[in-house]
Copies of this chain bind each other. A is one copy, B any other.
Amino acid sequence: MALVYQQVEFLRKLLRAGSLSGAGRFVDKLEPAEIIDLLESVGPSEYPLLLRVLFSPGRVGAVSPLRVIPKDLLATFLERLDDRGLARLLKPLSTDDAVTVLELVGNERAPGITQLVSDPEQREQLRQALHYPPKSAGRLMNHHFLAAPESFTAQQAIELVRAPSAHAASTMSDLYTVDARGRLTGLVPFWKLVRAESEALLSGIMEPEPSHVTTSDDQELVATLAARYGFLTLPVVDAEKCLVGIVTMDDVLDVMQDKATEDLYRLQGISDGDRLGASVGASYRRRIPWMSANLVTAFLAASVVGLFEHTIAQLAVLAIFMPVVAGMGGNVGTQVLTVVTRGMALGEDRFLSVVRVLGKQLAIGVLIGASVGAMTAGAAYLWKGDPRLGVVLFLAMIINLAVAGLAGATVPTLLKALGLDPALGSGVLVTTCTDVVGFFSFLGLASLMMT
């Protein structure tokens, strides 16, 4: 898969000769990993040219680097360009892709780069987009849509579609209709335009009151709407209901993948930037505050064990079974937590009462506790020959797994009721719960029944 020296040299020659289209044909045949290789191999003079080749769209089969190269890696490549180079890079991009590039190089440089964009229309669109809050529909939308007054006839609309200025909107499948003040009133799918009589008014064939979002709506809301209703594109309106852009499904996919990663990470207390490609220093700095917080909760569990130091000194065998009790409790708690938070992320919790969810997880916890407790008790009796140890383990396991089921369901429910993200750090709260209860019930029962 690695590129050979001759290939890199050939591309450098193409770039130096100014044959950007030849270079384009060359990079189109490469795998994403080879493109990374290339970016790391070419010299500083060819570097900005290569990025421009990669970012120039419109070649058949060409894939935007924004889609195939991981964002954090791409950011390191983009950061090496100066403001002028970045402004030139933005030129062929749609507003949403250009905004992504600006977000990758950072908020500080974005205004300066925007200033250097040569096309006044693009400059203005970028300036507006950067005014919208991060993660809003306004930043996700692009301006390549087709709109016509609803008073147009089908024939007039077709002429509009045929006009060279409409070429940029070529991937779209709908024509939006607006009233005299530019407010969104309906949509006419192209197939309807194809079928309509020439003299038919758009107001007669349009589908009125189309679904839409506003510029300030959260991108996750857009993703939810798109997923629920199966929209391929969604129009975006401003506060005055004027049509200002559209969001297409491919952008929504990115939002959904980011959301899935975010949920998974928050459950484990991992910070967003801690990706596979992050540097050692960056990962360390991001993990250390969380690990310090974890240490506090670990000492909480340790202090529970400390209450029974005297019992353990008499019965060192108890220490052997501590990992079993704590491990099984942590496992059940984390499983229940995962089921509940994922159900919340998919909106399944809207159909079930809180009491039913909690009651059910408690019941499953007791059942699993009894089964696993019986197995543990049997194994411990066979190993150590002490029937009292078996009874203590059996009872402690039921208590611990019941609490694990309850905690796994209660913690995210409470966090959600408080208006917080149900996944945020809930993993550590639940395992702290199961550790404390597990050690207390096991060692407590042991000191009552075995000493």
A173 interface hit (Cβ, 8 Å): yes
Q: Whole-angstrom distance from the CB of A36 to the nearest CB of chain B?
A: 5
CA distance A287 to B336 in the complex (A): 10
B contact residues around A193 at 8 Å (CB): 194
Q: Whole-angstrom distance from the CB of A26 to the nearest CB of chain B?
A: 19
Query: Considering only CB atoms, which chain B residue lies closest to A319 in the complex?
Result: B319
Choose among B33, B348, B350, B368 the residue that contacts A275 (Cβ–Cβ < 8 A): B348
Q: Whole-angstrom distance from the CB of A390 to the nearest CB of chain B?
A: 14
A249 interface hit (Cβ, 8 Å): yes
Q: Given contacts A313-B316, A339-B270, are A276 and B327 in contact (CB under 8 A)?
A: no
Choose among B158, B279, B328, B339 the residue that contacts A276 (Cβ–Cβ < 8 A): B339
A68 interface hit (Cβ, 8 Å): yes
B contact residues around A60 at 8 Å (CB): 207
Copies of this protein, total: 2
CA distance A351 to B158 in the complex (A): 46
Contact assessment for A323 and B301 in the assembled complex, using a CB-CB cutoff below 8 Å: yes
A250 interface hit (Cβ, 8 Å): yes
Which of A14-22, A125-133, A228-236 is near enough to bind chain B? A228-236
Q: Whole-angstrom distance from the CB of A185 to the nearest CB of chain B?
A: 15
Q: Given contacts A275-B343, A367-B284, are A228 and B379 in contact (CB under 8 A)?
A: no
Within 8 A of B (CB), among A1-49: 31-33, 36
Q: Interface 1/0s, chain A 269-310, versus B by CB < 8 A?
A: 110001111011001100110011011011101110110011
Within 8 A of B (CB), among A345-389: 346, 348-352, 357, 360, 363-364, 367-368, 371-372, 375-376, 379
Which of A106-114, A198-206, A213-221, A258-266 is near enough to bind chain B? A258-266
B contact residues around A276 at 8 Å (CB): 339-340, 342-343, 348-349, 352, 357
Contact assessment for A346 and B261 in the assembled complex, using a CB-CB cutoff below 8 Å: yes
B contact residues around A228 at 8 Å (CB): 63, 67-68
CA distance A306 to B171 in the complex (A): 67
Q: Whole-angstrom distance from the CB of A336 to the nearest CB of chain B?
A: 9
Query: Considering only CB atoms, which chain B residue lies closest to A265 in the complex?
Result: B338
CA distance A264 to B255 in the complex (A): 18
CA distance A360 to B275 in the complex (A): 12
Contact assessment for B230 and A250 in the assembled complex, using a CB-CB cutoff below 8 Å: yes
Choose among B67, B231, B263, B324 the residue that contacts A299 (Cβ–Cβ < 8 A): B324
A195 interface hit (Cβ, 8 Å): yes
Q: Whole-angstrom distance from the CB of A261 to the nearest CB of chain B?
A: 6
A134 interface hit (Cβ, 8 Å): no
Contact assessment for B253 and A368 in the assembled complex, using a CB-CB cutoff below 8 Å: no
A420 interface hit (Cβ, 8 Å): no
Q: Given contacts A298-B328, A379-B299, are A253 and B275 in contact (CB under 8 A)?
A: no
Contact assessment for A283 and B364 in the assembled complex, using a CB-CB cutoff below 8 Å: yes
Contact assessment for B349 and A321 in the assembled complex, using a CB-CB cutoff below 8 Å: no
Contact assessment for A305 and B322 in the assembled complex, using a CB-CB cutoff below 8 Å: yes
Q: Given contacts A195-B162, A284-B367, A376-B295, are A63 and B310 in contact (CB under 8 A)?
A: no
B contact residues around A283 at 8 Å (CB): 360, 364
CA distance A301 to B328 in the complex (A): 12
A439 interface hit (Cβ, 8 Å): yes
A117 interface hit (Cβ, 8 Å): no
Q: Given contacts A299-B379, A324-B302, are A227 and B207 in contact (CB under 8 A)?
A: no
CA distance A313 to B284 in the complex (A): 37
Q: Given contacts A261-B346, A264-B338, are A189 and B162 in contact (CB under 8 A)?
A: no
Q: Whole-angstrom distance from the CB of A283 to the nearest CB of chain B?
A: 5
Q: Given contacts A292-B375, A295-B376, A351-B32, are A229 and B342 in contact (CB under 8 A)?
A: no
Q: Whole-angstrom distance from the CB of A295 to the nearest CB of chain B?
A: 6
A172 interface hit (Cβ, 8 Å): yes
A/B interface sample: 5 pairs, CB < 8 A: A172-B191, A173-B173, A295-B328, A301-B324, A309-B317
7 interchain residue pairs of minimum CB distance: A173-B173, A230-B250, A276-B343, A313-B316, A260-B260, A190-B190, A319-B319
